[in-house]
Amino acid sequence: MNHLALDFLRVTQSAALAAKPWIGRGCKHEADDAATTAMRGVLQRMEMDGVVVIGEGELDEAPMLYIGERLGTGRGPRVDIAVDPLEGTTLVASGQDNSTAVIAAAPRGTLLHAPDMYMEKLAVGPKAKGAASLERPLVDNVAAVAAALHKDISDVTVMMQYRDRHQAAIDMVRRTGARVRLFDDGDVTCAISVAVEETGVDLFYGIGGAPEGVISAVALKGLGGEMQARLLPGTEAEYERCRSMGIADPHKLLTLHDLVSSDDCVFAATGITTGLLLAGISKDAGHAEITHSLIVCGGQAGTHFIRSVHEREEQV
């Protein structure tokens, strides 16, 4: 998989550059369409036999990058692909920070085929592996992570999405004395921030999209972090959706290995607007566009923050 990493970098760069003209214009669907079209164009030229397992929806919901779509030349590695061409459509439309183009990939059959529903998620960085579990109360997890990191609880920062469904958990964490850092959108970026020490985030918790959970899991595996998750089907239709995608017990506690079972995986992200991990797209003195990206490869290939200069004629 690692030899495809630079190709996946070009995929997210193309999507980010295509979305940039839509920043602040209030047109989230147009921005998403532009990013999706650009991303698909690069994926179709890659030397691989790819299939989308997490995408923009079913065939009748999304004309491109739909679940089950085949991508690439058909030659080369057999790859599962999870995409979010524009993570933070509302952020781009409103000109806010923390929007990115992201993709994750792993050998065929090794990514959880997560249905588009809510998922409870808990993530920590490498130094707190084994310290937290969804089977324990959140306050216990805060204390355990503090101990693992040799911090006072008052110095622990918990990242959570600013949603009504999280208010009780937010209040609970604050009563422990820990800090809560709230975000509006950008679930993937915020989940993996626990494994990038410079962010100052120690624990991620929340209920959000299951597809974003799987994409985050690929990055966390390469970064040495840990994640647990549990699907939260709310209707009989969602239960049936889980079963149709091969998930026999929708309430099972999912470990990082359940979410992505291969170490031979790749995650790539390119910033559109400046965020927690990546700077947004800018221009140099010669008016070339500059992107900032993150590539995380499983195994020994490591983590790379990449600054790229794109001349006008090379833009997608």
User: Tell me, what's the pLDDT at 160?
Assistant: 98
pLDDT tens digits, the chain, 316 residues: what are they?
A: 878 999 999 999 999 999 999 999 999 999 999 999 999 999 999 999 999 999 998 777 888 999 999 999 999 999 999 999 999 999 999 999 999 999 999 999 999 988 889 999 999 999 999 999 999 999 999 999 999 999 999 999 999 999 999 999 999 999 999 999 999 999 999 999 999 999 999 999 999 999 999 999 999 999 999 999 999 998 999 988 888 888 888 889 999 999 999 999 999 999 999 999 999 999 988 789 999 999 999 876 689 999 999 986 544 4
251 φ, ψ (degrees, to nearest 5): -95, 5
On whether the CB atoms of residues 79 and 105 are closer than 8 A, the answer is yes
* pLDDT given at position 313: 56
Q: What per-residue confidence (pLDDT) applies to 126?
A: 96
**Separation of alpha carbons 100 and 106, rounded Å:** 20
What's the pLDDT score for residue 57?
Answer: 84
Q: Phi first, then psi: give them for residue 124, nearest 5 degrees.
A: -140, 165
CA nearest to 96, candidates 153, 31, 142? 31
Fill in the amino acid letter for 285.
A
> Which of 45, 56, 35 lies closest to 272 in space, CA to CA?
35
Residue 189 token pair:
């970026």
pLDDT value of position 312: 67
pLDDT of residue 315: 42
